[in-house]
Amino acid sequence: MSWVLGVLVFWAMAWTLNVRLAGSALSRVRAGRIAVPALFGITLLVLWEGLVRGLGVSPVILPAPTMIGVKIAGSLPILWADFVQTVFKGALTGYVMGCGAGFLVSILIDRSPFLTRGLLPIGNFVAALPIIGIAPIMVMWFGFDWQSKAAVVVIMVFFPVLVNMVAGLQASERMQRDLMATWGASYWQTLFQLRLPAAMPFLFNGLKIATTLALIGAIVAEFFGSPIVGMGFRISTEVGRMSMDMVWAQIAVAALAGSAFYGGVALIERRVTFWHPSQRV
Amino acid sequence: MTRALPVLSVLGILFVIWYAAAVWLNAPWVYDQAERAGTRVTLAELIPQTMAQDRPVLAAPHQIVAELWKGVAGQAITSKRSLVYHGFVTLQATMYGFVLGIVLGAALAIAIVQSRVMDMSVMPWAIISQTIPIVALAPMIVVLTSQLGIQDRMVPKAIISAYLSFFPVLVGMIKGLRSPDQMQLDQIATWNASGAQVFVKLRLPASMPYFFASLKIAVAASLVGAIVGELPTGAVEGLGARMLIGSQFGQPLITWAALFAAAILAGLLILAVGQVERAARRRMGVQE
């Protein structure tokens, strides 16, 4: 009982501190903007730990964060092998291929306004579909190893990137394009010096959506058959064996990988589109 | 008509590519069969045979349509083979998750817009929550709910689909609730409106267009969530389960039919949200 009371008190104190922080001058500088959500996150972890211990929740239902941490520290080789199989081989390969294909196809169809008008509604619709269902078919085509996972990822990320990039290529204004024409710029010069830079905010929008989709695709495809390594494989087998600490360890790795992937793309975006109003602070 | 023509022609091109790919991918099997029988196939014989296999590598569109029709109209809708039945199971989970996601997303958005602490502490985590691949959590949610004694398979699916659908609503609502400009805020202040009145009479109506735009994304996301939620349960019902069954028993046509049924369902859901939006706009007196 003391655990429960303790964490509740901690919660109240942390919340009060957060209210103070958010109201103070500190919240306008970078440190404050990181401290407030960090404190919130830590509070959630402490609440979880305290409630699991205080209420005596069985580890089969919900292991405490410290238990999960111990498990992570104790099984780094397995986690690393699964990570390489799913994220590097499956998700990243597919991500690069799918985004590259989406980028190139968008430039190709952009040359024909007719195709653009036809493809945009279809692309938008397909991007909203549960494409994830293609996974069993890809596993049938490309076998159990990472190639089938990469194929699922290619299809999943292709349409969001395509749709955003096509919209991006139309983002430069009529006036700017006319100006390029008066300077006698060729199609390629206009493309590289005006339209591609103008399309970058849209492209990165698509690329950021695609990061999450890539991980989802790679993990789901493993539910339909995989070699005996990989995050999706590990999760589905360890759930069957009721070793929840391993499952949570995988979830933690997946969460870190997903956030790092997204953060990495967002960082590149900031470098590339530094001129865009949304990036100026 | 000027808008339909490009779409139809792109669809036509896709159809042609699909059929060509079906012939190309299914041909090895036909050649293999012919070689075993000691006969040779000409091109004219080859093409029809690639279109009518029981276990095609790539199913031809008409085969999928036939399988879909068999699943929708060929059985009583209570039958375990009926796609209507499985679609309904998935639709139910989707709707529960969708409603849950709307409530959660809208409530969080209101809290975030009204309170600076909530904004600073919750918003970053809401963004991070979407970078976590939900499918990693899905089997966990399934086990957790069954350990807690909830036998209903609907619950974990609804939770997963709510997890995917709350975020678009949250982002859309925040944008919408903050959309009234300074002039409008000043105006309502000169009328001596209280905080609650500003919220109900200005911010809430102003957020509606953003709300409905995000609902269309959210409903598609909840369908994905419901289908993903059916995969790791070893589910017996629902469109996701049909895909799994097709994959496990080597019946690609079942998987394809379930996939297309899911696509049709997604289209219908987006259309339905559009209808609700139009009705709401008319009630609110927006000129079309």
- Chain B residues lying within 8 Å of A55, measured CB to CB: none
**Inside any domain, residue A235:** yes
pLDDT of amino acid B102: 94
Domain-terminating residue out of A57, A87, A103: A57
Percent of chain A at pLDDT > 70 equals: 98
pLDDT of amino acid A96: 95
pLDDT of amino acid A103: 93
Residues A206/A267, Cβ–Cβ less than 8 Å: no
Q: Residue A254: which of A101, A40, A57, A68 has the closest Cα?
A: A68
pLDDT of amino acid B288: 54
Q: How far apart are CA B199 and CA A192, in angstroms?
A: 47
Phi, psi of A267 (to 5 degrees): -65, -45
Contact state of A212 with B130 under an 8 Å Cβ cutoff: yes
Chain B residue at shortest CA distance from A30: B120
pLDDT of amino acid B239: 85
Q: Residue A87: which of A248, A207, A256, A237 has the closest Cα?
A: A256
Asked if residue A45 and residue A118 are part of one domain, the reply reads: no
Residues A90/A218, Cβ–Cβ less than 8 Å: yes
Domain count, chain A: 2
Q: How far apart are CA B70 and CA B54, in angstroms?
A: 15
pLDDT of amino acid B1: 53
Give the range among A198-202, B113-117, B144-148, B220-224 with minimum mean pLDDT.
Answer: B144-148
pLDDT of amino acid B130: 78
DSSP letter string over chain B?
Answer: -TTHHHHHHHHHHHHHHHHHHHHHHHHHHHHHHHHHHT----HHHHHHHHTS-SS-SS--HHHHHHHHHHHHHSS-TTSTT-HHHHHHHHHHHHHHHHHHHHHHHHHHHHHHHH-HHHHHHHHHHHHHHHHS-HHHHHHHHHHHHHHTT---THHHHHHHHHHHHHHHHHHHHHHHHT-S-HHHHHHHHHTT--HHHIIIIIIHHHHHHHHHHHHHHHHHHHHHHHHHHHTTTT-SSSHHHHHHHHHHTT-HHHHHHHHHHHHHHHHHHHHHHHHHHHHHHHHTT---
Q: Which of B55, B141, B231 to mutate to test the interface with A (most CBs of A within 10 A)?
A: B231
Asked if residue A235 and residue A115 are part of one domain, the reply reads: yes
pLDDT at B189 > cutoff 60: yes
The pLDDT-based confidence of A183 (bands split at 50, 70, 90) is very high
pLDDT at B100 > cutoff 60: yes
Residues A48/A12, Cβ–Cβ less than 8 Å: no
pLDDT at A116 > cutoff 90: no
B3 touches chain A (CB under 8 A): yes
Nearest by CB to B57, from A122, A141, A216: name it: A141
Contact map slice: B 182-241 vs A, CB within 8 A: 216-217, 220, 223-224, 227-228, 231-232, 239-240
Average pLDDT, chain A: 85
Return the higher-pLDDT residue of B1 and B33.
Answer: B33
- Burial bucket for residue A44 (CB in 10 Å: 0-12, 13-18, 19+): middle
pLDDT of amino acid B287: 59
pLDDT of amino acid A94: 93
Asked if residue A16 and residue A150 are part of one domain, the reply reads: no
The pLDDT-based confidence of B116 (bands split at 50, 70, 90) is confident
- Chain B residues lying within 8 Å of A250, measured CB to CB: 136
Q: Is A217 helix (H, G, I), strand (E, B) or coil?
A: helix
Put simply, whether the predicted model's pTM sits higher than 0.80 gets the answer yes
Asked if residue A218 and residue A83 are part of one domain, the reply reads: yes
The mean pLDDT of A172-192, rounded to a whole number, is 89
pLDDT of amino acid A173: 84
Residues A37/A62, Cβ–Cβ less than 8 Å: no
**Inside any domain, residue A65:** no
* CATH domain B83-283 topology: MetI-like fold (1.10.3720)
Residues A220/A232, Cβ–Cβ less than 8 Å: yes
pLDDT of amino acid A154: 93
Q: Is A187 helix (H, G, I), strand (E, B) or coil?
A: helix
pLDDT at A281 > cutoff 60: no
**Inside any domain, residue A214:** yes
**Inside any domain, residue A112:** yes
Q: Residue A212: which of A248, A177, A165, A160 has the closest Cα?
A: A160
pLDDT of amino acid B232: 66
**Inside any domain, residue A166:** yes
Chain B residue at shortest CA distance from A17: B117
Structural domain including A167 reads 72-279
Nearest by CB to B227, from A130, A215, A239: name it: A130
- Chain A residues lying within 8 Å of B137, measured CB to CB: 251
Contact state of A259 with B132 under an 8 Å Cβ cutoff: yes
- Cβ count within 10 A of residue B190: 7
Asked if residue A53 and residue A78 are part of one domain, the reply reads: no
**Inside any domain, residue A40:** yes
Beta carbons within 8 Å of A19's beta carbon, 6+ residues apart: B117
pLDDT tens across A127-175, in order? 777 787 788 888 888 888 888 899 999 998 998 899 889 888 888 888 8
The winner for highest mean pLDDT among A16-30, A238-252, B160-174, B244-258 is B160-174
Asked if residue A76 and residue A45 are part of one domain, the reply reads: no
Kindly report the CATH number assigned to the domain that includes residue A271. 1.10.3720.10
The pLDDT-based confidence of A179 (bands split at 50, 70, 90) is very high
Asked if residue A234 and residue A175 are part of one domain, the reply reads: yes
Q: Is A230 helix (H, G, I), strand (E, B) or coil?
A: coil
Query: What are the structural domain ranges in chain B?
Result: 4-58, 83-283
pLDDT tens across A4-29, in order? 788 888 888 888 887 887 777 777 77
**Inside any domain, residue A62:** no
Helix axes A30-54 and A65-74, enclosed angle (nearest 10): 100
- Cβ count within 10 A of residue B24: 12
The mean pLDDT of B45-72, rounded to a whole number, is 80
pLDDT of amino acid A234: 87
The mean pLDDT of A45-50, rounded to a whole number, is 86
